């Protein structure tokens, strides 16, 4: 499980980032688990899971503070992602929220800054804030989260909106609706798709069909579920608060699913047969 063998995925700029990263939703909220969670994040980076995703919303900044502590001395090894809450996403609020995130993260710059979901502020306001942050070299790329096709089309028509790098959405074997329209649209528009909750916060692992495929491949259900997301050309950011789970997640990078496994998963978790509203957690 060397870092060198990690799969990568391309951003619109052509820059390659780790296809399997680390999410931090719910991390940093229990003092008793803090050291274990820090160890897990550091191990993930060592194993090549160098995309670390967080948000000002997570634990009201606690996750960002945890990430800042975990990455001390390792910042340059990581592609660091955070998100602005919709209520903060006017022009000035976006800049102020980013500065707050950077303080908690102990960082000078974010690699990617996302609008967490669409709220009351016009997209033009958020774009203006992203532009200001780019000009100030406080972020390298910007993107969105939880935006469906109609939102992405609208965004793309705005001045500078076609510079969107990423749409981060809920996607896993049990939530395949984006395959009908959003995923093809993003591929055509050259927007990278990143999946959050790629194992449905663990609920997916109870599915017998997933377990059967895993047993046949000598893998775990977690590894099969994550490998399936990667096979779709989508990045994945599973959360893990323990080193053992990080090692298990990392095993998905080296797991390639044969055609019969993919067919079995399609039968158990059918692709969409028509348009589906974008799902969120």
pLDDT digits (tens, 9 = 90+) for 85-144: 999 999 999 999 999 999 999 999 999 999 999 999 999 999 999 999 999 999 999 999
User: Which whole number is the average pLDDT over 63-84?
Assistant: 96
Tokens matching residue 256: 């390639």
Residue range 140-167, pLDDT digits in tens: 999 999 999 999 999 999 999 999 999 9
Asked whether residue 4 carries a pLDDT value surpassing 60, the answer given is: no
Beta-strand pair 16-18/8-10 = antiparallel
Element (H, E) at 223: helix 221-231
CA–CA dist 2, 5 (Å, integer): 6
pLDDT confidence of residue 1 = 40
Q: Which residues of 249-281 are buried (b: 16+ CB within 10 A; e: fewer)?
A: bbbbbebebeeebeebbeeebeeeeeebebbee
pTM: 0.95
Where does the pLDDT of residue 80 fall: very low under 50, low under 70, confident under 90, or very high at 90 and above? very high
For residue range 179-189, list pLDDT tens digits in order: 999 999 999 99
Q: What is the pLDDT of residue 233?
A: 96
**Which residues of the chain form beta strands (DSSP E)?**
8-10, 16-18, 22-23, 51-53, 79-84, 110-115, 139-145, 166-170, 192-196, 235-236
Q: How confident is the model at residue 2 (pLDDT cuts 50, 70, 90)?
A: very low
Cβ–Cβ < 8 Å for 13, 165? yes
Work out the average pLDDT over 72-91.
Answer: 96
Enter the DSSP assignment of 205: G
pLDDT digits (tens, 9 = 90+) for 216-271: 999 999 999 999 999 999 999 999 999 999 999 999 999 999 999 999 999 999 99
**Cβ contacts of 208 within 8 Å, gap of 6 or more:** none
Residue 234: name the closest of 150, 152, 170 by CA.
170
- Helix-, strand-, coil-residue percentages of the chain, each rounded to 5: 50, 15, 35
Please check the confidence at residue 5 and state whether its pLDDT lies above 70: no
What's residue 176's pLDDT? 98
Task: Name the burial class of residue 67, with classes exposed (0-12), middle (13-18) and buried (19+) by CB atoms within 10 angstroms of its CB.
Answer: buried
Check residue 128 and give its pLDDT: 98
Per-residue pLDDT, 3: 47
pLDDT in tens, 192-230: 999 999 999 999 999 999 999 999 999 999 999 999 999
Residues 8-58 have pLDDT tens digits of 999 999 999 999 999 999 999 999 999 999 999 999 999 999 999 999 999
């Amino acid at each position: 499980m060397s870092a060198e063998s990690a799969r990568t995925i391309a951003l619109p700029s052509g820059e390659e980032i780790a296809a399997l990263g680390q999410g931090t939703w719910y991390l940093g909220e229990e003092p008793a688990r803090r050291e274990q969670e820090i160890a897990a994040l550091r191990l993930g980076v060592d194993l090549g899971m160098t995309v670390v995703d967080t948000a000002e919303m997570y634990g009201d900044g606690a996750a960002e503070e945890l990430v800042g502590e975990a990455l001390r001395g390792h910042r340059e090894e990581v592609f660091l992602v955070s998100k602005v809450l919709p209520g903060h996403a006017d022009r000035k609020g976006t800049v102020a929220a980013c500065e707050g995130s950077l303080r908690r993260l102990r960082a000078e710059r974010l690699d990617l800054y996302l609008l967490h979901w669409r709220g009351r502020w016009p997209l033009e306001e958020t774009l203006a804030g992203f532009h200001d942050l780019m000009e100030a070299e406080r972020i390298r790329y910007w993107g969105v989260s939880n935006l469906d096709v109609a939102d992405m089309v609208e965004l793309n028509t705005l001045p500078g909106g076609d510079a969107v790098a990423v749409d981060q959405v809920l996607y896993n074997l049990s939530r395949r609706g984006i395959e009908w329209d959003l995923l093809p649209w993003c591929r055509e528009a050259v927007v990278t798709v990143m999946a959050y909750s790629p194992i449905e916060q663990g609920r997916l692992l109870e599915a017998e069909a997933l377990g059967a495929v895993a047993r046949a491949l000598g893998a775990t259900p977690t590894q099969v579920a994550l490998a399936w997301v990667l096979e779709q050309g989508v990045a994945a950011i599973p959360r893990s608060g323990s080193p053992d789970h990080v090692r298990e997640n990392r095993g998905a990078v080296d797991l390639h699913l044969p055609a019969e496994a993919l067919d079995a998963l399609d039968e158990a978790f059918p692709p969409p047969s028509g348009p589906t509203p974008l799902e969120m957690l």
